[in-house]
């Protein structure tokens, strides 16, 4: 095997800045991009924390004008992005800064793309990897829809691990498991290459060694989880995820947070694809220690039909997926989750 065996392209933000305290560089990045009127996109909960003030302070020091849109909701519907777009137009914004979890970043990327504006994205969770992908996930008519466009790539991604320090334990657990799913799924994807595989395995190791401590609030572990999430984001953003994410979407459509949905489906997907048994055992151990469980209420046949319609994930899966296999997986999940809650 030699380098000539491979052909691939890596899509990345123009600038990726990582490190504790790098939130202070957002003003200089905005100035570099020629911004004069900036819309800060965030959630209502995040607006109450000190993270937003750190961003506004950095902008104010350079005399940059800004307005805050704090209307992004979890698992946002497309209408949420429309509201943000209207706010950006009304203000006359020439740059968007997304500050928050994956939902905030996805809305920011979609709106900036629609308006042809520059964007800086700053994650406050360690898991989605949205800061480095060309993907925006929004709900359309009640179901999650994955939008892919190279115009979603950020001009700058600032990953300051200290912004994740306010995450409550449950959110740290679910977002961390999302990063774990990205790392393990993309390793086996048909579009994987040597670079994405190397990033994925390093991310997996960091998550395995740090997620439990990060959930407990350990600062060093949270720094490592931010790095792991970034690495996994670069990896899956360039090679894609597979069956685990396809299986998780029907659960998310029922209101289960994405991180929890993908966490409980991940072992079933890895087993189906013949992943390393030791890693599968470690994944199951993490899920048990973090006490992540779900209750399946939706009709299994309908869930399976949604999965089979997910051509993007299934085409990327290393093993062909059949309807009867998906039904069997969901039936196993329902039996095993019922026994755990008794």
What's the domain count of the chain?
2
The per-residue pLDDT string of the chain (342 residues; one tens digit each, 9 = 90 and over) reads 445 566 888 999 999 999 999 999 999 999 999 999 999 999 999 988 889 999 999 999 999 999 999 999 999 999 999 999 999 999 999 999 999 999 999 999 999 999 999 999 999 999 999 999 999 999 999 888 999 999 999 999 999 999 999 999 999 999 999 999 999 999 999 999 999 999 999 999 999 999 999 999 999 999 999 999 999 999 999 999 999 999 999 999 988 999 999 999 999 999 999 999 999 999 999 999 999 998 888 899 999 999 999 999 999 999 999 999 999 999 999 988 776 654
pTM for the full predicted model: 0.94
Residue 43 domain flag: yes
Residue 174 domain flag: yes
Shared domain check, 298 and 272 = yes
Domain limit, last residue, from 164, 179, 200: 164
Residue 189's closest CA among 149, 245, 150?
Answer: 245
What confidence score (pLDDT) does residue 341 get?
52
Shared domain check, 31 and 94 = yes
Measured between alpha carbons, how far is 126 from 28 in angstroms, rounded to an integer?
24
What confidence score (pLDDT) does residue 326 get?
98
What confidence score (pLDDT) does residue 318 get?
97
Shared domain check, 285 and 148 = no
Shared domain check, 160 and 190 = no
Residue 36's closest CA among 58, 68, 63?
Answer: 63
The CATH number of the domain holding residue 38 is 3.40.50.1970
Quote the domain boundaries for residue 77: 15-164
């Amino acid at each position: 095997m030699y380098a000539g065996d491979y052909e691939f392209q890596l899509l990345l933000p123009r600038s990726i800045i990582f490190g504790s305290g790098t939130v202070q560089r957002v003003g200089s990045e905005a100035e570099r991009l020629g911004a004069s009127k900036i819309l800060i996109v965030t959630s209502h909960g995040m607006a109450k924390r000190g993270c937003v003030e750190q961003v506004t302070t950095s902008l104010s020091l350079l005399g940059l004008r800004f307005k805050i849109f704090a209307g992004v909701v979890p698992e946002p519907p497309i209408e949420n992005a429309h509201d943000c777009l209207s706010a950006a137009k009304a203000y006359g914004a020439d740059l968007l800064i997304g500050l928050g979890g994956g939902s905030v970043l996805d809305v920011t990327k979609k709106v900036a793309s629609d308006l042809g504006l520059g964007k800086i994205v700053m994650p406050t969770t360690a898991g989605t990897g949205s800061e480095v992908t060309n993907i925006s996930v929004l709900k359309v008519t009640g179901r999650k829809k994955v939008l892919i466009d190279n115009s979603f790539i950020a001009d700058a991604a600032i990953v300051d691990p200290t912004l994740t320090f306010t995450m409550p334990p449950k959110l740290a657990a679910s977002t961390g498991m999302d990063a774990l799913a990205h790392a393990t799924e993309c390793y086996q994807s048909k579009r994987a290459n040597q670079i994405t595989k190397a990033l994925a395995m390093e991310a997996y190791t960091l998550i395995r060694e740090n997620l439990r401590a990060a959930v407990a609030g350990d600062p060093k572990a949270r720094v490592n989880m931010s790095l792991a999430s970034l690495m996994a984001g670069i990896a899956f953003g360039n090679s894609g995820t597979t069956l685990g994410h396809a299986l998780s979407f029907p659960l998310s459509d029922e209101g289960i947070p994405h991180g929890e949905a993908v966490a409980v489906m991940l072992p079933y997907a890895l087993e189906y694809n013949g992943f390393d048994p030791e890693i599968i055992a470690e994944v199951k151990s993490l899920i048990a220690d973090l006490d992540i469980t779900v209750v399946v209420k939706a009709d299994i046949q309908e869930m399976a039909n949604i999965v089979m319609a997910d051509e993007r994930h299934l085409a990327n899966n290393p093993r062909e997926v059949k309807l009867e296999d998906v039904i069997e997986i969901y039936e196993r999940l329902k039996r095993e989750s019922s026994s755990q809650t008794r």
